[in-house]
Amino acid sequence: MFSQLKQLPADPILGLSIKFKADNNPNKIDLGAGIYKDAAGNTPVLDCVKVAEQFRVDNEASKAYLGSTGSPVFNTKMTDLILGDHKVITENRIRTVSTPGGTGALRVAGEFIKKCTPGATIWVSNPTWANHKGVFEAAGLIVKTYPYYDYENNCLDFEGMVNALKNIPQEDAVLLHACCHNPSGMDLNQEQWQAVAEVAKDVGFMPVVDMAYQGFGTDLDSDAYGLRLMADTVEQMIICSSCSKNFGLYRERIGACSIIGRSAEAADIINSVLLSVVRVAYSMPPAHGAAIVETILSSHELTTQWHGELKEMRDRINNMRQLLVDKLKENGVERDFSFITSQNGMFSFLGIDQAQVQRLQDEFSIYIVGSSRISLAGISTDNVDYLTQSIAKVL
């Protein structure tokens, strides 16, 4: 059986990380990995997480399964975090299950859509997170794209986006990034969210909102504005959320898939289908990360501490955006990179070509995805001069 297998190419981003680790250049810089790094280049464990973990060690009494939905407390806390004081909660129209990370939430969403409509199509932005296409295709969906980013002008192609959404078939699904668009960093503003929500209502397609970076843009509530507005506007939608970035729980793999129905009765039916999807996929979700999150969100003191640590991460990334633009000017780069400061989250496109990206890697040990997407979290005051001087040379 195995003799028929052929070597597959490495994932572009994961393969980049492998090359970076093998590079002996002391000045090397990794701008490919989509994880938060502090000024020293480390991905720290948040202090509030350490407290919550110790609480779990001291108080956990069993390793028994929690059930296919996961922890009810975690699910409730996550629903409140993403939706706030929203009518779909008071009307009992939403059901949430714990998942193995945000990727697991997306896969559950894909499998759920397939249960509803076998052979369904889901539309994703062009560009989108590199793994979206693979996850949804593995779930049996057809993946198509709608315009989103204007590469020539380094801005949102909103007109192209809306025109495309107006022509999407009613039975299809549309993936939207709640905030901190990966990979462009270019988000919809409130007025644009209103327009997209109205199109979704008029056309009738199923919105699937991916919120992997809540709190990394402006703040927790502002980053959820579009998602909450969409829930105000349409009767049904799917939300995929992750605790990897905002809680720093990357390796714990904890996220959630939430689905809103037209009524409480419809939500119960949705839940039964959700559980059937989970049962044959991974049966029971991981518990450790969920316990950390629910411990933090159940404590006023720890929640306040988390808000402060989340703000530190957000502020550092935003400061690196401005510093990068300033240093590029300082090092004689005449091209206008000011668009970087108007974006949100960890990512942005530099807008350089693949040959220049390759030169940065080969000559300067600066690792960037071929599309020129960079992770701002990989920049620090210690490496920004070397980085911008190198970019100036390839330009």
- In this structure, the number of other CB atoms found within 10 A of the CB of residue 244 comes to 23
Distance CA 63, CA 389 (A): 53
SS3 257: strand
CA distance linking residue 113 with residue 337, whole number of Å: 40
Tell me if 216 sits within 8 A of 314, measured CB to CB. yes
In angstroms, rounded to a whole number, what is the distance separating the alpha carbons of residues 232 and 132?
26
Give the residue from 263, 274, 261 showing the smallest Cα distance to 108. 274
- In terms of Cβ atoms closer than 10 Å to its own Cβ (0-12, 13-18, 19+), residue 229 is middle
Name, in order, each residue with C-beta under 8 angstroms of 368's C-beta and a sequence gap of 6 or more.
16, 31, 32, 350, 357, 360, 361, 374
Helix (H) or strand (E) holding 16, with range, is helix 12-22
* Residue numbers annotated as active site: 129, 210, 245
Residue 22 CB coordination number (10 Å) = 8
d(CA 280, CA 292): 26
Own/partner contacts of 158-162, CB < 8 Å, gap of 24 or more, are 158/188, 158/192, 161/125, 161/196, 162/195, 162/196, 162/199
Query: How many angstroms separate the CA atoms of 96 and 263, rounded?
Result: 15
| CA 128 distance to own-chain centroid | 10
